[in-house]
């Protein structure tokens, strides 16, 4: 009977890993796919490789945090309770992936464990409180940082990068030799190649960061119950993530790469830098990063900031309008050099809100990203309250 339960537990854990691959590939490589720097298949392959590297190196520390620190009472994690937890985590993530909305795997997993902890009176509220505070602060920082860059600095950054996306693929696979190797596409310019390489590299960095925090969401309950070996579960969990990246992640790549906001290559680089920096910072201080929400709010913030570059900043003194004061005047590299003030760009350089920011899709994404963790938290709490809490009384 125990062997059967263990098989069921591992299967549910792999189901969670599958949905993690679907939920996190979009935020990591959505900008690269949206800017046509890489194909969905290429993004999935890189996601699988760098997620594994992150999980194998730093991820085991996060497994220990979720498997031991969040729950104060030993014996709460059992094989049976772990299966129930993983069922709610995987089921909630599947709902988000089905609707093409990448839900936060960390929020979903921690929410389910918190439901267990509240039902059994074993939740460490200090640890939970510090995690929750950062979950609120980090997306706000991501949104406003990207929004300010989009509103005030984007034209200057765009001129620095100066990359025009050409027709056709950025990279192609040369199969003429014994070992296939990537080569530049037939129409790819040198600057486009450089910029595309940068945004892909940052996507790999985000995939690495995802592995450091998200592998725990799939395997921590079973490892905490001490019924499986850590290294084996890391390998199996990463394999499941890879399957999710190649299959169900295509929906979330469409959502974050195309539907929310138009992402030219420069915008993709900005989003990737902002969100990956925040995720790495949270990982360093030991917080399970809400990877999906940070990346999504960064995309939304950049699109909103760019869409609001429509009015010149002026100062009215004694009824007369004085010349505008732009951020470029404060950030010029050379004397006399100045980025165009808001409203001074050429008409073609000012995108409309409809082009850059889709409120309907954004609303659907933000609603689902809060609903999915609530499903796992409330479901786990109700189940353990009704069926399992009596076991520890």
Give dist(CA 239, CA 246) in Å, integer: 11
Structure token digits, residue 105: 């795997």
CA angle 370, 372, 374 (to 5 degrees): 70
Contact 290, 208 (CB under 8 A): no
The pLDDT score that the predictor gives to residue 330 is 30
Which residue shows structure tokens 């040369």? 174
- The structural domains of the chain, with segments of one domain joined by +, span 2-309+345-392
Number of CB atoms found within 10 A of residue 73's CB? 13
Q: Which residues contact 357 (CB under 8 A, 6 or more apart)?
A: 260, 261, 300, 303, 304, 306, 307
- pLDDT at residue 312, as a whole number: 44
| Dihedral pair phi/psi, residue 172, rounded to 5° | -130, 160
Give the Cα separation of 146 and 159 in Å (integer). Answer: 17
Q: Give the whole-number percent of the chain exceeding pLDDT 90.
A: 12
- Mean pLDDT, consecutive 10-residue segments, the chain of 393 residues? 81 88 81 77 93 91 80 79 83 72 75 86 88 89 93 82 62 73 70 77 87 87 85 94 90 60 66 80 76 78 79 45 36 42 44 50 64 79 72 51
């Amino acid at each position: 009977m125990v062997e059967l339960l263990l098989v069921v537990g591992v299967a549910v854990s792999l189901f969670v890993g599958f949905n993690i691959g679907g939920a996190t590939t979009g935020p990591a490589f959505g900008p690269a796919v949206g800017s046509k720097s890489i194909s969905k298949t290429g993004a999935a392959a890189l996601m699988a490789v760098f997620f594994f590297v992150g999980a194998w190196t730093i991820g085991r520390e996060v497994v220990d945090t979720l498997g031991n620190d969040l729950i104060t009472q030993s014996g709460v994690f059992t094989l049976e309770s772990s299966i129930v937890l993983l069922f709610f985590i995987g089921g909630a993530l599947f709902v988000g992936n089905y609707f093409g909305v990448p839900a936060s795997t960390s929020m979903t997993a921690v929410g389910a464990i918190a439901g267990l902890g509240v039902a059994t009176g074993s939740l460490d509220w200090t640890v939970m409180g510090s995690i929750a505070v950062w979950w609120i602060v980090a997306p706000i920082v991501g949104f406003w940082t990207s929004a300010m860059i989009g509103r005030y600095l984007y034209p200057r950054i765009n001129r620095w990068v100066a990359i025009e996306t050409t027709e056709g693929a950025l990279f192609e696979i040369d199969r003429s030799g014994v070992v296939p190797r990537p080569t530049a596409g037939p129409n790819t310019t040198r600057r486009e190649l450089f910029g595309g390489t940068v945004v892909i590299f940052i996507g790999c960095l985000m995939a690495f960061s995802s592995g450091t925090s998200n592998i725990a969401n799939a395997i921590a309950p079973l490892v905490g119950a001490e019924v499986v070996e850590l290294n084996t579960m890391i390998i199996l969990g990463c394999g499941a993530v890879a399957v999710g990246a190649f299959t169900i992640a295509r929906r979330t790549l469409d959502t974050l790469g195309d539907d929310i906001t138009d992402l030219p290559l420069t915008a993709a680089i900005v989003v990737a830098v902002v969100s990956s920096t925040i995720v790495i910072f949270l990982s360093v201080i030991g917080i399970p990063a809400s990877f999906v929400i940070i990346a999504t709010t960064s995309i939304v913030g950049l699109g909103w900031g760019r869409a609001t570059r429509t009015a010149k900043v002026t100062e009215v003194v004694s009824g007369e309008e004085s010349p505008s004061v732009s951020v470029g005047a404060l950030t010029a590299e050379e004397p006399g050099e100045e980025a165009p003030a808001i409203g001074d760009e050429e008409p073609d350089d000012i995108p409309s809100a409809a082009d850059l920011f889709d409120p309907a899709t954004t609303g659907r994404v933000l609603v689902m990203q809060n609903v999915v963790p609530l499903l796992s938290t409330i479901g786990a709490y109700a189940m353990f309250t009704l069926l399992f809490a009596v076991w520890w009384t």
